[in-house]
């Protein structure tokens, strides 16, 4: 978390002829977005796509699966109250700031961003707040216990398929 914006700055400085995008979560972006001032001042025209789902999505997913949706400390208010408003924030840091709220606009907003090469660009992609990310591996489980969806694991050729829920995931192998 917080790696994308500074990493993009470094990548763009190392390869100025390449188009460099940072794809960042709304939580992650809030850890280092002040580096956009450096990008603007030093003339490093990176592009940042903020995937704004309004919450710490990975943490919310773990709470949804392991704690029956008893959510704690995951709402970022980046949807509900627009705190912070990423368009205003990026504008204040010297970037071109765009917002995309409809699937139909995705291509044109990306095209707009790609056409700007004299300043950093930030796009606030406002997406659904409850989409889960699959596949995932439960904490303490092994890679071959990967889940394709809740309680569903892929079939592997060399074994009988068994369904398992994350709470029954085998404990880490004992030494």
Q: Which residues of the chain form contacts with ligand TPP (CB under 6 A)?
A: 1-2, 25-28, 51, 53, 55-59
Mark residue 94 as left, alpha or beta (left: phi above 0; alpha: psi -120 to 50; beta: remaining). Answer: left
Closest CB 40 distance from ligand TPP, rounded Å: 22
User: Would you tell me the crossing angle of helices 4-14 and 35-42 to the nearest 10 degrees?
Assistant: 20
Q: Name the residue among 118, 111, 120 with its Cα closest to residue 91.
A: 120
Select 2 or 84, whichever has its Cβ closest to ligand TPP.
Answer: 2
Q: Which x/- pattern over 9-48 shows residues binding Mg ion (rule: CB under 5 A)?
A: ----------------xxx---------------------
Closest CB 169 distance from Mg ion, rounded Å: 25
Q: Which x/- pattern over 47-86 shows residues binding Mg ion (rule: CB under 5 A)?
A: ------x---x-----------------------------
Closest CB 53 distance from ligand TPP, rounded Å: 5
Q: Cβ distance 123 to 47 under 8 Å?
A: yes
CA distance 163 to 151: 6
Classify burial at 105, counting beta carbons within 10 Å of its beta carbon; exposed 0-12, middle 13-18, buried 19 or more.
Answer: middle
Closest CB 66 distance from ligand TPP, rounded Å: 15
């Amino acid at each position: 978390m917080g790696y994308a914006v500074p990493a993009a700055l470094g990548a763009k400085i190392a390869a100025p002829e390449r188009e460099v995008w940072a794809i960042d979560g709304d939580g992650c972006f809030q850890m280092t977005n002040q580096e956009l001032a450096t990008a603007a001042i030093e003339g490093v025209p990176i592009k940042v796509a903020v995937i704004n789902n309004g919450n710490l999505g990975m943490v919310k997913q773990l709470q949804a699966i392991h704690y029956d949706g008893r959510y704690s400390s995951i709402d970022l208010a980046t949807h509900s109250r627009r705190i912070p408003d990423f368009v205003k924030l990026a504008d204040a840091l010297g970037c071109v700031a765009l917002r995309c709220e409809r699937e139909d606009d995705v291509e044109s907003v990306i095209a707009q961003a790609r056409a700007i090469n004299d300043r950093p660009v930030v796009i606030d992609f406002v997406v659904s707040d409850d989409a889960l990310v699959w596949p995932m591996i439960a904490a303490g489980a092994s890679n071959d216990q990967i889940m394709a969806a809740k309680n569903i694991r892929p079939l592997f050729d060399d074994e009988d398929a068994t369904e398992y829920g994350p709470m029954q995931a085998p404990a880490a192998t004992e030494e």
